[in-house]
Amino acid sequence: MVDAAKKTAVKKTAAKKTTAKKKAAKKKAAPKKTTAKKTTTASKSRAAVKVIPGQSLVIVESPTKIRTLSRLLGKDYTIMASVGHVSDLPTKELGVDVEDGFKPRYETIRGKAKVLNDLKRAAKTAEKVYLAPDPDREGEAIAWHVAQAIDKPPESVFRITFDEITRRGVEQGLASPRQIDMALFEAQQARRILDRLVGYKISPLLWKKVRRGLSAGRVQSVAVRLICEREEEIRAFNPEEYWSIDLKVEAENPPPFAMALAQFQGEKVKIGNEEQARAILDAVGGGPLDIQSIQTKDARRHPAPPFITSTLQQEAARKLHFTAKRTMSVAQRLYEGVELNGEHIGLITYMRTDSTRIAGEALTMAREYITGNYPPEYLPENPNVYRTKKSAQDAHEAIRPTDVSLTPDMLKGKLDKDQQRLYELIWKRFLASQMTSAVFEQTRVEAVAPEARDYLFVATGQVSKFKGFLTLYQEGLDDQAEDPNASKSLPKMNEGEKLSVLEILPNQHFTQPPPRFTEATLVRELEKQGIGRPSTYASIISVIQEKEYAIKDRTRFAPSELGELVNGLLVECFPNILDVGFTANMEDRLDHVEDGSVEWHGLLDAFYKDFEPTLQEATQKMRNVKAEAQETDIECDQCGKKMVIKWGRNGKFLACPGYPECKNTRNLDKDGQVVEEDRTPEELQQTCPNCGQNLVVKTGRNGRFAACPGYPNCKHAEAIKTGAKCPNDGCDGDLVERYSAKKKSTFYSCNQWPKCKYIAPAKPVAGTRCAECGHSFLVEDPKADPPGLRCPAEGCGYKITL
């Protein structure tokens, strides 16, 4: 649908084109230069590319694919890019006509008018148009919107997909042209409209009841609920005492090993307190144990399947400490391709998939590599086949390298650090998935004390007999202190042999609460509960942090005070929307829209019939946090009234009830205490250039800063200096404290930015110098225990303890 503003923009564009043609005609009359300026990939994707009659036009999603596809397809094809989505629902209004069958109103995304005009112009003279955005729901939607915009006869417009950006993948895509999959598009459209209804209907209510800028989301709010409920479990957890009894024993053959008390009279032993533990120790005594049985058997450990989106995000979080968003960004670059030996090559298959299926040629490629690089026993007789879960779409293969012969070592120096590490993870996981299982010899030794045969002590050991796939790859662990498959060898023993007791080790323990979610375990929980889909996990995790509903403390998520407040309001007023089962069922129904078994209008209609009355009730019922004012005993230092606690843009704060006559406010920390510097500002050794007073520390939306205490008469403010000078040659700048709003963290950099872009790896400490290399300052070492300082110079390992 083209509105008046858009028509005007198109006319202006046409006028500019006419002027451009006249200028081009003048240039044509001038003498030609001997060398022509090369067109870059980015500019070519946006320029008005002229399609030679008879040529085919291929429209991809990302400009980075243009160069690769141009080389692979040759002169008969012109490649252009939509540069992502070109149309979407309007940004400042609902854009969905609920009364007219949930009809969406799409608009050209801001900045995409020229892209669309160029695509239209190129499509007019093309014999055929191939729509080749990414092979998923979003890609199908982009293809549909582009097809609507170029307005070309359907018989000359085809949808193609590339599961990998290689010659094989491109040839397979071109060999299988089809029409746009309307069920796939409608699944994306239904999901988009559903999310818009929830977001645009509930968010304004939060603005009215809590504060502006808040948002609710059909899936993001459920993810926040999971984090909040986990926090509630942790708070409500009551640790229970229990004891374990271990013995350090020695057989006739070394080495000594540990045995644990496992059973009493054939039942699992439970020791609740020290008194019970002492009674058992008295009964067992300190004498030797008799070996009652020795059981030895072989156990196999099978390789993990190749990656799907969720397992890639989990493993990258465990092993590489990547966020889900970072993982998907790097994987996208590996899929789209990198420059290798003068060629642009896609290195992995499409990274949004929930299937562990592997193409036949890829299996052959993997088995040939294993045969050529490992002994025969590392190749199983038949390829390993992995079961894909029932709910999987199975539209694409598992994530794997496009060419196994491109080993990680071969790519060193040709990829950036993130690409290298993620590619190595994918390459090893895929290859290991087609190798032989590992074999362990497991031994279980049971022994009793002659005087107390009711107590059974057990020792288990495991020794690797054949490493198999573990030679190449071992899966990471979540929230486990020890790998249960780790090898623990036991000495050679015989039944009836006596074991000498070297040490008795009674240990007190307390049960632990469930751990907070990491990115890996949150993705795993979302997948387990059926919340969202693999392609959405990264955005879900990013949004709940950007909205400050969840805070990541190092690696684990905790709900913010705001997050818990909003979650409580939504759970109370929208129990269905925030219900895990309801949300998972809705995801399944959306999947059924994709397979054609559910009609999208009916899905939205059924949802909205329940949602609308709930929304109306919530408008009246929801607690009005914004209007609440909790009185305190803190006096306003300007008018003497008792200050009250209110909610604002940055959470709770103290305000004078005399507003607007008295506008005094004070900050509160996360525990509800008045911020210390609010009471007594910290004085700095920095002088105000205007009035000569020492500057003091203040805190604003973007972190701490140095300000003149003479405010409002003097409004000078600057960054807080660390006292250390910039170490870059020729720079006389000071290292200052900065705050990254995006990363929610403090960093230290030169105040001469952008002229000097030095950033210190940690907080510089003034008055220090490296005793080894002479670097002008040391930095705090956050990993040191006890606290210490280290030299920030590359290659210098100097450290001191404080």
CB of 64 within 8 A of CB of 72? no
- Res 5 pLDDT > 50: no
Least confident of 257-271, 473-487, 490-504: 473-487
pLDDT band at 482 (very low <50, low <70, confident <90, very high): low
Q: Please give the residue that has the higher pLDDT: either 12 or 702.
A: 702
Preceding amide of 660 cis, omega within 30: yes
Question: Could you report the per-residue pLDDT of 656-708, keeping only the tens digit for each?
Answer: 888 888 888 888 776 667 765 555 778 888 999 888 889 998 877 667 899 99
pLDDT-based confidence at residue 635 (cuts at 50, 70, 90): confident
What are the pLDDT digits (tens) for 399-409?
999 999 999 99
Q: How many helices (DSSP H) and strands (DSSP E) are in the chain?
A: 19, 35
Residue 46: pLDDT band with limits 50, 70, 90: very low
Helix (H, G, I), strand (E, B) or coil at 389: coil
- Distance in angstroms (rounded) separating the CA atoms of residues 1 and 727: 58
Q: Which residue's structure tokens are 């006319």?
A: 11
Please list, in sequence order, all residues whose beta carbon lies within 8 angstroms of the beta carbon of residue 510, skipping any fewer than 6 positions away: 239, 240, 241, 242
Find all residues with CB under 8 Å of 729, minimum gap 6, and list them: none
Can you give the pLDDT at residue 534? 82
Check residue 273 and give its pLDDT.
Answer: 94
- 170-214 per-position pLDDT tens digit: 999 999 999 999 999 999 999 999 999 999 999 999 999 988 888
pLDDT at 362 over 70: yes
Query: Which residues lie below 8 Å from residue 783, measured CB to CB, with a gap of 6+?
Result: none
Task: Specify the pLDDT at position 275.
Answer: 94
Strands 128-132 and 107-108: unpaired
CA distance linking residue 151 with residue 25, whole number of Å: 29
* Percentage of the chain exceeding pLDDT 70: 89
In contact, 604 and 190? CB cutoff 8 Å:
yes
Residue 131 and residue 158 in contact, taking contact as beta carbons nearer than 8 Å: yes
The angle at the Cα of 786, spanning 780 to 787, to the nearest 5 degrees, equals: 15
Mean pLDDT, range 143-167, rounded to an integer: 92
Q: Residue 480 carries which side chain, given as an amino acid letter?
A: Q
- The pair of structure tokens assigned to 741 is 């709003």
Banded model confidence at residue 23, pLDDT cuts 50, 70, 90? very low
Residue 527, pLDDT above cutoff 70: yes
> How large a percentage of the chain has pLDDT more than 90?
60
Q: What is the pLDDT of residue 133?
A: 93
| Residue 674: strand, helix, or coil | strand
Position 484 confidence tier, pLDDT thresholds 50, 70, 90: low
Task: Please check the confidence at residue 49 and state whether its pLDDT lies above 70.
Answer: no
- Give dist(CA 337, CA 346) in Å, integer: 4
pLDDT at residue 1 is higher than 50: no
Q: Which of 256, 99, 162 is nearest to 601 (CA)?
A: 99
Query: What rounded mean pLDDT belongs to the chain?
Result: 86
Instruction: Please report the pLDDT score of residue 479 as a whole number.
Output: 66
User: Looking at residues 312-320, what average pLDDT do you find?
Assistant: 93
Note the pTM of the prediction, 2 decimals: 0.74
Inform me whether the pLDDT recorded for 342 exceeds 80. Answer: no
Which residues is 448 bridged to in the sheet?
A: 290, 456
- SS3 of 517, please? coil
Task: Give the tens place of pLDDT for each residue, 541-569.
Answer: 999 998 889 998 878 999 998 899 999 99
Q: Is the pLDDT of residue 231 over 60?
A: yes
238 close to 555: Cβ distance less than 8 angstroms: no
Please give the positions annotated as active site.
Answer: 350
pLDDT digits (tens, 9 = 90+) for 597-622: 999 999 999 999 999 999 999 999 99
Instruction: Over range 627-644, report the average pLDDT.
Output: 83
DSSP code, position 500: E
Q: What pLDDT, on the 0 to 100 scale, is given for residue 108?
A: 95
pLDDT, position 48: 39
Between residues 46 and 621, the one the model is more confident about: 621
Higher pLDDT, 394 or 100: 100
Residues 787-802 pLDDT 10s: 889 999 888 888 888 7
